[in-house]
Amino acid sequence: MNLEKIKLVVSDMDGTLLNSKNQISDRFFTLFKKLQDKNITFCAASGRQHNSIIDKLAPIKNDIFVIAENGGIAKKGDETLLANFLNPKKVLELIPVLRKIKGANIVLCCNNNAYIESKDPEFTTLFQEYYTSFKQVENLLEIAEKTPVFKIAIYHFKSSEEYIYPVVAKFSKEILIKISGTNWLDISTEKANKGNALKEIQKILNIGKTETMVFGDYHNDIEMMQEADFSFAMENAHKDIKKIAKYTTKSNNEFGVESILEKLV
């Protein structure tokens, strides 16, 4: 594995760069300085809200690219590089369907804010790990009528794959549906995926697949893995990701990303 050509490193957050306590290691921040010394650019790519990603990477937030909301938005510092919104009619159609799923908690992901109806204290506590800027409202339909939506995120305490996906699968010809974690499912416009956002950043930097390294663990990482010759699945990754990634690394709790970056620098 010849890593000398690498100019861009892209990492998912949850289950990848973050450990199971949702922390980023000091080891990573030390390695980031070494990446800078080698003129290697870093990009964080997540289903999380932009503000939440920046909170985790605060010391380096002005030096990195950020793909948030699974490719709904990409930014460098305060500059927005791309934004992909769902069709408002589709959002209004989906909300009543999602409300009928027992145990589903719906999040409307908008620019600089997320909106929830759920009053479940367990969910609202958990939700704040991923969405630092949010409002609890009585009716999401009223928000969707006047506010552009990047993504609808739905959380189920048991399984997104088992309880949410079967209900929304029929919409898959019109929108992008991604099981983004054991409990999360994301709905966005077909253009909004991490792969398309990564292609935009590669274009800006004039960097190709042969110069790109990607780390991921779940279905929402598939498209961006296809844009890199050096794609790494975490040891804790979904089996589908391990099949398509060219390489594997240790788990997110065993510094899987950092161990490869150490070889790179």
Convert the pLDDT of each residue in 66-111 to its tens digit.
999 999 999 999 999 999 999 999 999 999 999 999 999 999 999 8
Mean of pLDDT values over 242-248: 97
| Cα separation, 42 vs 36, whole angstroms | 9
Crossing angle, helix 26-37 and helix 256-264, to 10 degrees? 20
Predicted local confidence at residue 181, as pLDDT: 85
- DSSP string of 50-68, one letter each residue: HHHHHHHTGGGTTSSEEEE
Q: Give residues with Cβ within 8 angstroms of 210, minimum separation 6.
A: 5, 229
Q: Give percent of the chain above pLDDT 90.
A: 88
244: helix, coil or strand? helix
Which strand ranges, in their side-by-side order, compose the sheet holding 113-116? 134-136, 113-116, 104-110, 151-156, 184-188, 176-179
CA angle 201, 183, 231 (to 5 degrees): 35
Predicted local confidence at residue 112, as pLDDT: 83
Mean of pLDDT values over 192-210: 96
Q: What are the tens digits of pLDDT across the range 1-26?
A: 889 999 999 999 999 999 999 999 99
Predicted local confidence at residue 139, as pLDDT: 97
Q: Give residues with Cβ within 8 angstroms of 8, minimum separation 6.
A: 40, 41, 42, 43, 201, 202, 205, 207, 211, 212, 213
Of the candidates 166, 141, 163, the residue with the CA atom closest to the CA atom of residue 152: 141
Q: What are the tens digits of pLDDT across the range 22-61?
A: 999 999 999 999 999 999 999 999 999 999 999 999 999 9
Predicted local confidence at residue 36, as pLDDT: 97
Question: Hey, what domains does the chain have and what are their CATH numbers?
Answer: 8-83+192-264 (3.40.50.1000), 88-188 (3.30.1240.10)
Query: How would you label 193-207 residue by residue, b for 16+ Cβ within 10 Å and e otherwise?
Result: bbbbbbbbbbeeeeb
Instruction: Please answer whether residues 111 and 150 qualify as being in contact, where contact means their C-beta atoms are separated by less than 8 angstroms.
Output: yes
Which value, in Å, is the radius of gyration of the alpha carbons in the chain? Answer: 18
Mean of pLDDT values over 236-253: 96
Instruction: Say whether pLDDT at 151 is over 90.
Output: yes
Mean of pLDDT values over 150-172: 94
